[in-house]
Amino acid sequence: MFPLLRAARQIPGEPGSDANRVPVWFMRQAGRSLPEYKAVRGEGTILHVIADTDRAIEITLQPVRRYGVDAAILYSDIVTPVWAVDFGIDIVPGVGPMCEHPFASAADLDRLRPLEPDVDLPYQAETIKAVVAEGGVPLIGFAGGPFTLASYLIEGRPSRTYTKVKALMFSDPKLWHQLCELLADIAIATLRAQVEAGASIVQLFDSWAGALRPEHYREFVLPHSTRILEGVADLNVPRTHFGINTGELLDQMADAGADVVGVDWRTPLSVARERTGGRVALQGNLDPALTTGTWEVMEKEVRRVLADNDGHPGHIFNLGHGVMPESDPGVLKQVVELVHEEGRC
């Protein structure tokens, strides 16, 4: 069994064999930190690159070749399915997802028609099939979580405060839940199509859900995340649930039906393990900023994270959030080598 899938299921490795090493991959491992990415990326919106299977296959495989990571992650974006149903969203280089006409009222619900993956994003399955055939590592599929996707649709651009999202959530809970229902349907269709094409683990990125206090998360987000994760349960692939600033939400994120919970760098793995009662594997949790610095500092931190996991079988090594454009690929490669040498679980 691939180390990633073993760790995701918290199955102890065979002592003394390579099969008990801690698996490692990086969120946003494909991207602007890699010169080979810049060489094929071209200009304009990333969404057109994602839809171009030749480039998407190449970009998905680049970090596997360069770093020797234990997984490929599909080159796509959390907003790709919403773009594919013509909601009216784009990703502006250097800024992020933007909508010219943000979601504001019940009339906008019609702009989120059901996703038909074969028709709306056939390139997704094509890319996955080719990567699985060539890659030699498991492929991670993913979708955007309800809060994070809704935040881009409602704010119309990246936000630090989520003022408009929260205003809609608190002033019109019925509309909020209707919006999240449609986003959950789209996420389920996306993930199911990815697994059918060959993804062997999926991740729900609710990156910004940590903006909510626990009571509000429980009321406004958890029911929808639970429906998404339960909506792929019959496919028997491990499900990872991730967000940053979610130290106070980790127990609920585990309860949503996850096999693995992502932990950002603020919460030690030992604390996350206590908060989730050991019922899920943990993924994380180096501070991504360290990837721009020296190996000397990084080495100590890699060892700290491994020690903090203390040999528990359910550990997938990763950053606490994504690779940054400024990250040093040389440092990332050394991280993979050290985790493979020293990490055992």
Residue appearing with tokens 């079988």: 313
For 84-122, the DSSP string reads HTT---EEETTTEEE-SS---SGGGGGGSPPP-HHHH-H
Cβ closest to ligand CP3, residue 91 vs residue 112? 91
- Is residue 10 at the binding interface for ligand CP3, with CB under 6 A as the rule? no
Tell me how far, at minimum, the Cβ of 157 lies from ligand CP3, in Å.
10
Cβ closest to ligand CP3, residue 32 vs residue 344? 32
- Is residue 93 at the binding interface for ligand CP3, with CB under 6 A as the rule? yes
Per CB under 6 A, contacts with ligand CP3 among 255-314 are: none
- Is residue 77 at the binding interface for ligand CP3, with CB under 6 A as the rule? yes
Tell me how far, at minimum, the Cβ of 197 lies from ligand CP3, in Å.
16
Token pair belonging to 78: 């959390």
Stretch that binds ligand CP3, among 23-31, 111-119, 278-286, 309-317 (CB under 6 A): 23-31
Per CB under 6 A, contacts with ligand CP3 among 188-227 are: 205, 207
Size of the site for ligand CP3 (CB under 6 A): 24
**CB neighbours of residue 69 within 10 Å:** 25
Element spanning 130, H or E = helix 122-135
- Is residue 30 at the binding interface for ligand CP3, with CB under 6 A as the rule? yes
Q: Which of 195, 266, 253, 193 is nearest to 226 (CA)?
A: 253
Tell me how far, at minimum, the Cβ of 321 lies from ligand CP3, in Å.
6
Pairing of strands 260-262, 96-98: unpaired
Cβ closest to ligand CP3, residue 32 vs residue 279? 32
Distance separating alpha carbons of residues 146 and 267, to the nearest angstrom: 23
Active site residue 32: yes
Cβ closest to ligand CP3, residue 10 vs residue 62? 62
Active site residue 152: yes
User: One of 32, 113, 266, 303 is an active-site residue; which one?
Assistant: 32
Distance separating alpha carbons of residues 292 and 269, to the nearest angstrom: 22
- What burial class does residue 239 get, using C-beta atoms within 10 Å of its C-beta: 0-12 exposed, 13-18 middle, 19+ buried? buried
Tell me how far, at minimum, the Cβ of 300 lies from ligand CP3, in Å.
25
Stretch that binds ligand CP3, among 73-81, 224-232, 253-261, 288-296 (CB under 6 A): 73-81
User: One of 37, 67, 75, 152 is an active-site residue; which one?
Assistant: 152
Three-state SS letters, 38-70: HHHHCCCCHHHHHCCHHHHHHHHHHHHHHHCCC
Q: What spatial distance separates the first Cα and last Cα of the chain, rounded to whole Å?
A: 14
User: One of 6, 55, 75, 77 is an active-site residue; which one?
Assistant: 77
237 phi and psi, to 5 degrees? -110, 150
Tell me how far, at minimum, the Cβ of 32 lies from ligand CP3, in Å.
5
Active site residue 65: no
Contact 188, 231 (CB under 8 A): yes
> Exactly one of 87, 103, 142, 217 binds ligand CP3 (CB under 6 A); which one?
142
Q: Which residues are catalytic?
A: 28, 32, 41, 77, 152
Binding site for ligand CP3 (CB under 6 A): 27-32, 41, 46, 73, 75, 77-78, 91, 93-97, 142, 148, 158, 205, 207, 322
